[in-house]
Amino acid sequence: MANAYDKGKTIRLSAAFTVGGTATDPTTVTLNVKKPRGGVVSYTYALGQVTKDSTGNYHKDIVGNESGAWYHQWMGTGACETAEEDSFIINASEFSAG
């Protein structure tokens, strides 16, 4: 079951990249986020849109401004080839539409 949050909350999306159990920085780090109304937005570490916390550990804060199911995918290439997907729910608000 996906985590659920109230509309307007900031959600921290995190990724831990490893190779053989050792924290490893991918050559490129990309986060793809799909909002409930469709469309995918991509964020990259190279453009400064994703924050590096330590070797192999990255995050991006997203404001849950649309109610419904959100999906996200972390991708690493080069030194650490991997992809991981997850989702969360933004609950509808009694005080605003969408």
Is 66 within 8 Å of 9 (Cβ atoms)? no
Q: What are the tokens at 47?
A: 């453009």
Rounded to the nearest 10°, the torsion over CA 46, 26, 76, 45 is: -20
Distances in Å between the alpha carbon of 28 and those of 15, 47, 77? 13, 10, 5
CATH number of the domain at 3-89, please? 2.60.40.10
Alpha-carbon distance 40 to 5, whole Å? 20
Q: pTM for the full model? A: 0.91
Tens digits of pLDDT across the chain (98 residues) = 579 999 999 999 999 999 999 999 999 999 999 999 988 999 999 999 999 999 999 999 999 999 999 999 999 999 999 999 999 999 998 886 65
